[in-house]
Amino acid sequence: MEQSAGDLLRRTGLRSTAQRRAVLTALQGRPHATAADLEEHIAGTEGGSGTLSRQGLYNVLDDLTRAHLIRCIEPAGSPARFELRVGDNHHHLVCRTCGRIEDVDCAVGAAPCLDPIQDKGFTVDEAEITWWGQCAPCRNRAAGQPS
């Protein structure tokens, strides 16, 4: 994270609380983390245990999402996932076998990269694309090959 968590929070007008800083810090190096992943990580950090209730975590995730500091994605059949990569137009690859998620830069660049055939009166500003398939390690395991 180029800026400190506290600087990011202040820039968006949010108070820099220990809980918000803990969530932003936990998301570093953990793209596409679930709330459970974040809860486990924060509880395991020094001084983290007991500092953030489950409801408190969800409140922080909601605050950070509304402030556009984090992005929430919800692949079908998966719990909501959170990432720090915001403000660009990227998409996701999801492995049907292990659930691994990878970012994919948009080939077009600017949002929305797709336009609906009929806009039904909407002003479209974003298109979210998820490709589903099988990652190489899962494909190799299924074929009996080493990963």
* Digit-coded pLDDT (tens) for 87-100: 888 999 999 999 99
How much is the average pLDDT of 115-139?
Answer: 91
Candidates 1.20.1740, 3.40.50, 1.10.10, 2.170.130; correct CATH number of 5-73? 1.10.10
Please report which confidence band the pLDDT of residue 115 belongs to, taking 50, 70 and 90 as the band edges.
confident
Buried b (16+ CB within 10 A) or exposed e, 101-120: beeeebeeeeeebeeeeeee
> Rounded distance, CA 90 to CA 56, Å?
29
- Give pLDDT, residue 3: 74
Query: Looking at the domain 88-142, which fold is it?
Result: Dna Ligase; domain 1 (3.30.1490)
Entry pTM: 0.84
> Rounded distance, CA 145 to CA 130, Å?
27
| Percent of all residues in the chain with a pLDDT value above 70, rounded to a whole number | 94
